[in-house]
A = this chain, B = another copy of it.
Amino acid sequence: MKADVGVERVTLAEISEDLGVSLSTISKVLNGRSDVSASTRERIERVLHERGYVRRGGGRSEARADLIELVLHELDEIWSMEVIGGVEEAAKEHGLSVVLTVSGDRHAPDPDWIDGVIRRRPVGVVLVFSDLAPEHRERLRSRAIPFVIVDPAGDPTPEVPSVGSANWSGGLAATRHLIELGHRRVATITGPEDMMCSLARVDGYRSAMNSAGLPIDPAWIRFGDFHVTGGRNHASELLALPADERPTAIFAGSDLQALGVMDAARAAGLAVPGDLSIVGYDDVPISRWVTPPLTTVHQPLRRMGEEAARLVIRLATEADAARGGGAAGERNASTPRMDLATSLVVRESTAPPPTTV
């Protein structure tokens, strides 16, 4: 991280001299052209990195294309659309188009991807739910291409600007709602144990129970998979508990899991919400269509996409202004992180507990 505040800027001429490589070859590498041998490219990239080189703005050939790159690791139809719609909206406001890449791998886009991005020279990159390999981050940094992570999982990578949402507050609000309706035995099925958003939602649940002075049976806390199956399986087990331990309400951690809980309730002959109240999470469109319509925690996915795109545009503008003015390329001391508010949407899957309990 030698590019930090105050370090004098290295020039391409210096790099050219040190490496004994022509300026035009370095320029080809900077522009992502393929007509440079792999080993030369490797050598140049390494020195760009070591010297903390950051591309300056300048002539016409240096101008950014009117593009934002958006990378998702999969097209999960449940909510990718919302995020894509938000990024599109913010891009359009700024006269930009969106290049969409489906990486197929959560942890790294295709290796060819980074070359394409560097050739296209976009305003910036928005990554959803994924991260970049350190060498890819470095290559974007040296070309002054900012990137922002949309991080609904609540697990921000240090040093990377990101936009998330308030998972803990969402878990708290969902559980409080059930307690206010009169439920005492509330269970939760959250997502996988290795996702921070799962933990944050469970902690919100715990805080709501604790501050209401309600005991939590350890059997009531379940880690699911955020899919219908996880909800169905865990709910079947919960509903098979002895009558005096069986929850009268389940906070399901995702709308898909809530659908699974509904199935399990039907299979057990329980009415929703008469015998069992259910709260989902996400507020995807189907949550309105199911019977009964689902009480759920609204996750502002569209706004998360919008804010991520706006942030990356702002970072690009700041970088260009700093470089255009000839000032040393200073970096923001703090990494931007934004958590957007979640909110409870009360529909018809929640009601007071049965009086017989």
Interface residues of chain A, those whose CB is within 8 Å of chain B, are 65-67, 70, 75, 77-78, 80-82, 84-85, 88, 92, 95, 97-102, 110, 112, 116, 119-120, 228, 256, 259, 262-263, 266, 284-286, 289-291
Indicate the member of A67, A75, A85 with the most B CB atoms within 10 Å: A75
Interchain residue pairs A-B with the least CB separation, the first 6: A77-B81, A100-B100, A75-B81, A88-B102, A75-B85, A228-B289
Indicate the member of A77, A80, A99, A116 with the most B CB atoms within 10 Å: A77
Q: How far is the CB of A351 from chain B (nearest CB, A)?
A: 18
Q: Are A100 and B101 in contact (CB under 8 A)?
A: no
Q: Are A84 and B75 in contact (CB under 8 A)?
A: yes
Which residues on the B side are within 8 Å of A259 (C-beta)? 289
Which residues on the B side are within 8 Å of A70 (C-beta)? 100
Which residues on the B side are within 8 Å of A120 (C-beta)? 65, 97
Q: Are B98 and A99 in contact (CB under 8 A)?
A: yes
Q: Are A97 and B81 in contact (CB under 8 A)?
A: no
Q: Are B66 and A116 in contact (CB under 8 A)?
A: yes
Which residues on the B side are within 8 Å of A116 (C-beta)? 66, 97
Set B98, B112, B291: member contacting A263, Cβ < 8 A: B291
Are A102 and B75 also in contact (CB < 8 A) when A66-B116, A289-B256 are?
no
Q: Are A101 and B99 in contact (CB under 8 A)?
A: no
CB-based nearest B residue for A67: B99
